Amino acid sequence: MTTSKTTRQDCVAQDQADPLRGLKDQFALPPGVIYLDGNSLGVLPKATATRVQAVITQEWGTDLIKSWNTAHWMELPARVGDKIARLVGAAPGEVIAADSTSLNLYKVLSAGIRIAQADAPGRTTIVSERSNFPTDLYIAESLCQQHGMTLRLIDSVDELPAALDADLAVLMLTQVNYRTGYQHDMTAVTAAAHAAGALVIWDLAHSAGAVPVDLTGANADFAIGCGYKYLNGGPGAPAFVWAHPRHVNRFWQPLSGWLGHSAPFQFTPDYQPAAGITRYICGTPAILALAALECGVDTVLAAEPLGGMAALRQKSVALTECFIELAEERCAELGVRLASPREAAQRGSQVCLSLAAPLHEAGYAVIQALIARGVIGDFRAGDPARLDEVPHILRFGFTPLYIGFADVWDAVEHLRQVLASSEWKEARFNQKASVT
């Protein structure tokens, strides 16, 4: 057994000295669980159940339809959007919480294509990464078919400069890659794309609430993001959308629903888009879900008196570096390999590991064995034909609001034991579930 330079006692001492440690009290964490999957679904805030119950029993149950006015239900998308704006470098009135990430991407990519066609009609290419989250690629593929454009996928960030050519209309990237945790330099990439005459759309699904984001400072064009990962909004929580003020009023978004109308309660048969980001709303707000999302966003904003996103990022980097150090010291001889960038500036708030041959195919079972021990991460499949290049991924998210350094030490120790004992070979850990 490899002895680590960092002891568990060292990690406990770091937790005791952590100025953010009290933020964990906001969450209803199950006992005996080390939850390293907040990059997929955030933990339940303690405030959420009470808030949603109040919406159900009082606002809906007693006040009924009056609550659209008395409880300000209609303002919820904008109110929650303004709170998210504080986390992503946007101004009040520029973000709306509504619909899903996929729908919001459809809206902004459609708008981006129309702007590009108006300003530079000869540009017919959308560029993204082959490793981007599939829904982003599927939406882009659909819109390319509708608009006579071409989707070009690059296989590494090294190919990005060459892709910024005269054909490029829109560059569509996820700031933090869902598989590897690689983090783009938003400011530098946006500037390079603009210099090439293209627009940039950023997916912040693995950024908002996890890393500092400054959409305004980066001069980005559009952004969308997820409410149920680091924003702790609950399964299927509403997403959010942002458009730079220079673009927001140029075109209708294609899902021109009634609440995006300038005067929805005049019930006119013709569509007149609202000014600003409000036109990016489609249908009636999901009030129960928005109430839960607001509680989740509030857990992140609770860090503002303690240094805000900068302090959360500092702890996140320390947690992930500790995990990498311990995993390599204690598990490298058992086949564990780092699949995320080693440089902190290029890594989001997650660490991905892979397994070397002959354990290439053991990743799913290893994760299931860890989950059975109370260490919850997740698995993302690689390319079976090219596992050396695109390996299966053991994915671990580090949400600094509720993860501590002793959690990191214990998680790595469980990983070491699962591998050293071949516990993962048990049949129960090798039965694939529908969600991995």
Residues 141-189 have pLDDT tens digits of 999 999 999 999 999 999 999 999 999 999 999 999 999 999 999 999 9
Confidence of residue 436 (pLDDT cuts 50, 70, 90): confident
pLDDT (0 to 100) of residue 5? 86
Distances (CA, A) of 75 to 67, 199, 225, 292: 11, 30, 20, 15
Q: Which helix (H) or strand (E) holds 125?
A: strand 125-129
Query: Is 133 one of the catalytic residues?
Result: yes
Q: What is the rounded distance in angstroms from the CA atom of residue 385 to the CA atom of residue 391?
A: 10
288-297 average pLDDT score? 98
CB distance 353 to 394 below 8 Å: yes
Instruction: Let me know whether 259 and 332 are in one domain.
Output: no
The answer to whether residue 56 sits within a structural domain is no
Q: Tell me, yes or no, if 66 is annotated catalytic.
A: no
Question: Scanning the structure block, which residue is given the tokens 């005996």?
Answer: 32
Q: Which of 64-73, 323-332, 374-383 has the lowest mean pLDDT?
A: 374-383
Q: What is the pLDDT of residue 360?
A: 86
Give CA–CA dist 360/389, Å, rounded: 12
CB contact set of 393 (below 8 Å; sequence gap of 6+) = 179, 180, 339, 352, 353, 354, 363, 379, 380, 381, 382
Alpha-carbon gap, residue 129 to 177, rounded angstroms: 9
Residue 1 lies in a domain: no
Residue 249 has pLDDT above 70, yes or no: yes
Q: Which of 11, 7, 9, 42 is nearest to 24 (CA)?
A: 42
The stretch 278-292 carries a mean pLDDT of 96
User: Does the pLDDT of residue 1 top 70, yes or no?
Assistant: no
Is 280 labeled as catalytic in the residue annotation?
no
The amino acid present at 352, given as its one-letter code, is C
Examine the domain organization and report whether 181 and 329 are in the same domain: no
Using the predicted structure, report yes or no on whether residue 2 has a pLDDT greater than 60: no
Among 106, 133, 240, 364, the one annotated catalytic? 133
User: What is the band of 237 on the pLDDT scale with cuts at 50, 70, 90?
Assistant: very high
Considering the domain architecture, whether residues 293 and 313 belong to the same structural domain is answered as no
The CATH number that applies at residue 212 is 3.40.640.10
Of 279, 347, 380, 395, catalytic:
395
Model confidence over 370-400: pLDDT tens digits?
999 999 999 998 887 777 778 899 999 999 9
Q: Tell whether 248 and 339 lie within a shared domain.
A: no
Q: Are 226 and 175 in contact (CB under 8 A)?
A: no
In terms of residue numbers, what domain contains 368? 8-45+307-430
Q: Is residue 114 part of a domain?
A: yes
Q: Is residue 53 part of a domain?
A: no
Q: First and final CA of the chain: distance in angstroms?
A: 30
Structural domains of the chain, count:
2
For the residues 279-290, what does the mean pLDDT come to?
Answer: 96
**Domain membership flag for residue 57:** no
Q: Both 213 and 138 in a single domain?
A: yes
Residues 83 and 200 in one domain: yes
Separation between Cα atoms, residue 360 and residue 369, nearest integer Å = 16
pLDDT score at 129: 97
What global pTM score does this model have? 0.95
What pLDDT is stored for residue 3 in this prediction?
A: 54
Q: What percent of the chain has pLDDT over 90?
A: 93
In the chain, the amino acid numbered 397 is G
- Say how many CA atoms lie within 13 Å of 94 toward its Cβ: 22
- pLDDT score at 4: 58
The stretch 108-112 carries a mean pLDDT of 97
Domain end (from 254, 283, 301): 301
Average pLDDT of the chain is 96
Tens digits of residue pLDDT in 192-231: 999 999 999 999 999 999 999 999 999 999 999 999 999 9
Q: Residue 246: pLDDT above 60?
A: yes
Q: Which of 27, 35, 228, 323 is catalytic?
A: 228
Q: At which of 301, 325, 341 does a domain end?
A: 301
Q: Read off the CATH number of the domain in which 345 is found.
A: 3.90.1150.10
Cis bond before residue 358 (omega within 30° of 0): yes
Out of 24, 107, 123, 229, the active site residue is: 229
Q: Is residue 154 part of a domain?
A: yes
Q: Is residue 55 in some structural domain?
A: no
Question: 120 with 249, same domain?
Answer: yes
Please identify which of the residues 15, 82, 203, 298 carries the catalytic annotation. 203
Report d(CA 415, CA 333) in Å as an integer. Answer: 12
Q: Are 215 and 242 in contact (CB under 8 A)?
A: yes
Residues 334-352: pLDDT tens digits?
999 999 999 999 999 999 9
235 and 296, same domain (yes or no): yes
Q: Which two tokens stand for residue 372?
A: 């059975």
Same domain, 297 and 316: no
| Same-domain check for residues 194 and 163 | yes
CA–CA separation, 143 and 428 (whole Å): 42
Residues 270 and 336 in one domain: no
Q: What is the pLDDT of residue 172?
A: 98
Instruction: Confirm if 95 and 81 have CB atoms less than 8 A apart.
Output: yes
Residues 295 and 333 in one domain: no
Task: Select from 281, 301, 321 the last residue of a domain.
Answer: 301
102 lies in some domain: yes
